[in-house]
Structure 1
Amino acid sequence: MKYTQLGRTGLKVSRLVLGTMNFGPLTDEADSHVIMNAALDAGINFFDTANVYGRGRNKGRTESIIGNWFAKGGERRDKVVLATKVYGDMGADEAAWPNHDKLSALNIRRAVDASLKRLQTDYIDVYQFHHIDRDTPFEEIWQAVDVLVQQGKILYVGSSNFPGYKIAQANEIATRRGTLGLVSEQCLYNLYERRAEMEVIPAAQEYGVGIIPWSPLHGGALGGVLRKQVEGGRRDEGRAAGGMSGPDVRAKIQAYEDLLDKHGLEPGEAALAWLLTRPGVTGPIVGPRTAEQLESAVRATELELNEELLAGLDEIFPGPGPSPEAFAW
Structure 2
Amino acid sequence: MEYAHLGRSGATVSRLVLGTMNFGPHTEEKDAHRIMDRAVEEGVNFFDTANVYGGEGRRGWTEEIIGRWLAASGRRDEVVLATKVYGDMSEGASPTGKGLSAYSIRRAVDASLRRLQTDHIDLYQMHHIDRDTPWDEVWQAFDTLVAQGKVTYFGSSNFAGWHIAQASETARARGGLGLVSEQSLYNLVTRDIEREVTPASEHYGLGVIAWSPLAGGRLAGTQGSGVRRENSRHAADPEGQAQIQRWQDFCDERSIAPGEAALAWLLHRPGVLGPIIGPRTMEQLETAIAAFDISFTEDDLAAIDEIFPSAGGTAPEAYAW
TM-score (norm 1): 0.94
The amino acid of 1:285's aligned partner reads I
The amino acid of 1:192's aligned partner reads V
Q: Is the 8 A contact 2:217 2:224 kept in 1?
A: no
Q: Classify the secondary structure of the residue corresponding to 2:122.
A: strand
Aligned counterpart, 1:238: 227
State how far apart, in whole Å, the 2-side matches of 1:52 and 1:40 are. 24
The amino acid of 1:275's aligned partner reads L
State how far apart, in whole Å, the 2-side matches of 1:237 and 1:135 are. 31
2:318 maps to 1:326: yes
2:245 maps to 1:254: yes
Alpha-carbon deviation of 1:312? 1.1
Aligned counterpart, 1:61: 61
Q: Is the 8 A contact 2:186 2:210 kept in 1?
A: yes
Alpha-carbon deviation of 1:309? 1.8
Q: Is the 8 A contact 2:82 2:125 kept in 1?
A: yes
Q: Is the 8 A contact 1:221 1:237 kept in 2?
A: no
Alpha-carbon deviation of 1:97? 1.2
Cα-to-partner distance string for 1:21-48 (whole Å, 9 max, x where unaligned): 0000000100000100010011000000
Counterpart pick for 1:300 among 269, 291, 294:
291
The amino acid of 1:146's aligned partner reads D
Q: Is the 8 A contact 1:213 1:283 kept in 2?
A: yes
**Percent identity between the aligned chains?**
61
State how far apart, in whole Å, the 1-side matches of 2:290 and 2:39 are. 12
Alpha-carbon deviation of 1:302? 2.2
List runs of 5+ in structure 2 lacking aligned partners.
none
User: Structure 1 residues 289, 235: CA separation in 2 closer, same or farther (over 3 Å shift)?
Assistant: closer
User: Structure 1 residues 136, 236: CA separation in 2 closer, same or farther (over 3 Å shift)?
Assistant: closer
Q: Is the 8 A contact 1:26 1:289 kept in 2?
A: yes
State how far apart, in whole Å, the 1-side matches of 2:145 and 2:249 are. 51
2:51 maps to 1:51: yes
Counterpart pick for 2:141 among 138, 141, 144:
144
The amino acid of 2:111's aligned partner reads A
State how far apart, in whole Å, the 2-side matches of 1:237 and 1:57 are. 17
State how far apart, in whole Å, the 1-side matches of 2:82 and 2:25 are. 19
User: Structure 1 residues 210, 96: CA separation in 2 closer, same or farther (over 3 Å shift)?
Assistant: farther
The amino acid of 2:73's aligned partner reads G
Q: Is the 8 A contact 1:171 1:207 kept in 2?
A: yes
Cα-to-partner distance string for 1:159-180 (whole Å, 9 max, x where unaligned): 0000000000000000000011
Q: Is the 8 A contact 2:60 2:115 kept in 1?
A: yes
State how far apart, in whole Å, the 2-side matches of 1:235 and 1:288 are. 12
Alpha-carbon deviation of 1:138? 0.6
Q: Is the 8 A contact 1:220 1:237 kept in 2?
A: no
2:169 maps to 1:165: no
Q: Is the 8 A contact 2:216 2:224 kept in 1?
A: no
> Stretches of 4+ moved more than 4 A in 1?
234-237, 239-242
TM-score (norm 2): 0.97
State how far apart, in whole Å, the 1-side matches of 2:221 and 2:253 are. 14
State how far apart, in whole Å, the 2-side matches of 1:14 and 1:81 are. 9
Alpha-carbon deviation of 1:238? 2.5
2:306 maps to 1:315: yes
The amino acid of 2:25's aligned partner reads P
Aligned counterpart, 1:203: 200
Alpha-carbon deviation of 1:73? 3.4
Alpha-carbon deviation of 1:292? 0.3
Cα-to-partner distance string for 1:226-248 (whole Å, 9 max, x where unaligned): xxxxxxxx786724565231100
State how far apart, in whole Å, the 2-side matches of 1:152 and 1:301 are. 35
**What is the aligned length?**
318
List runs of 5+ in structure 1 lacking aligned partners.
226-233
Cα-to-partner distance string for 1:179-229 (whole Å, 9 max, x where unaligned): 11110000001111111000000000000011000000011110123xxxx
Q: Is the 8 A contact 1:15 1:301 kept in 2?
A: no
Aligned counterpart, 1:274: 265
Greater Cα offset, 305-314 or 142-151: 305-314
Aligned counterpart, 2:89: 90
Q: Is the 8 A contact 1:54 1:60 kept in 2?
A: yes
2:35 maps to 1:35: yes
Q: Classify the secondary structure of the residue corresponding to 1:221.
A: helix
State how far apart, in whole Å, the 1-side matches of 2:165 and 2:233 are. 33
